[in-house]
Amino acid sequence: MSHVWDPRRYLAYADERGRPFVELIARIAATDPGVVVDLGCGPGNLTALLRQRWPDARVTGIDSSPEMIEAARRGVPAVTFAVDDLRDWLAQTAPGEVDVLVSNATLQWLPDHLDLLPSLVGAVRPRGWLAFQVPGNFDEPSHTLRDELAAEEPYAAHMAGVATPAAHDAATYLRALQRLGCDVEAWETTYLHVLHGPDPVFTWVSGTGARPTLQALPSPLLPRFEEELKARLRAAYPDDGHGVVLPFRRVFVVARPA
């Protein structure tokens, strides 16, 4: 089931969402790459950092969401952006075409993304750089409460085919890429985001992981679902007067093909 992304909602916590990207590309030691690609570039605000890092490179952002690409083209005119599915892009890309291939918080939406690692590695030139980051917080209440509520009636009847994100731990990616002949650095970090405002965890998840679920519901059911999910999230993430703490584990991988 397809869903539509909202760049404005996604950027509600742009600083918090951007920090893992900055820490990921800090581990890329490329000096003068010619071709840099951001797979799953979203609204392009982070792709702009790749342009700043390597101003002489040909930087391209790829995303399957026309809404995200439209926002990226408006906001970052110095970068080339294109609407494309990640799998289709891989099928059309010549082996070794890319010097630096980055994917930030995207692969978790592809259930078979572990099987795509050979194609991702193959798109990168020998001794180039493949770097990606995925969320690793799918057992946290921010996800499990949504799943539990969506499995209840009357909502469950509308959940067939709804996309749900999933990822592996750092060791799984490390071993898989080592088997492909890469030198690999993999690690995990748990951020403690302090969020403010009314129902901030709902605002966070409604821009990312919960968005497909919300869009799958018919309009008569949506307000009730949102209010029930907000109430459960408030109970799981209380505000003690200093903001709501949202623990968020991230998995990072930087690989260099042989």
207-240 pLDDT, tens digit per residue, is 888 889 999 999 999 999 999 999 999 999 999 9
1 within a domain of the structure (yes/no): no
CA–CA–CA angle 26, 29, 32 (5° rounding): 120
95 within a domain of the structure (yes/no): yes
Count the Cβ atoms, other than its own, within 10 Å of residue 190: 10
pTM for the structure as a whole: 0.92
2 within a domain of the structure (yes/no): no
pLDDT at 9: 56
| Average pLDDT of the chain, as a whole number | 93
pLDDT at 16: 84
Which residue bears the tokens 């990072």?
A: 252
Q: Is 114 exposed, middle or buried (0-12, 13-18, 19+ CB in 10 A)?
A: middle
User: Domain of 75?
Assistant: 7-256
Q: How many domains does the chain have?
A: 1
| Cα 218–chain centre separation | 26
Q: Which residues contact 175 (CB under 8 A, 6 or more apart)?
A: none
pLDDT at 208: 83
pLDDT tens, residue by residue, 141-165: 999 999 999 999 999 999 998 988 9
Spatial contact of 203 and 17, defined as CB atoms under 8 Å apart: no
35 within a domain of the structure (yes/no): yes
**What's the whole-number mean pLDDT along residues 120-125?**
98
Element (H, E) at 106: none
143 within a domain of the structure (yes/no): yes
Q: What is the largest CA-CA distance in the chain?
A: 55
What CATH number should be reported for the domain holding residue 248?
3.40.50.150
pLDDT tens, residue by residue, 10-48: 555 678 888 999 999 999 999 999 999 999 999 999 999
Confidence band, pLDDT 50/70/90 cuts, at residue 8: low
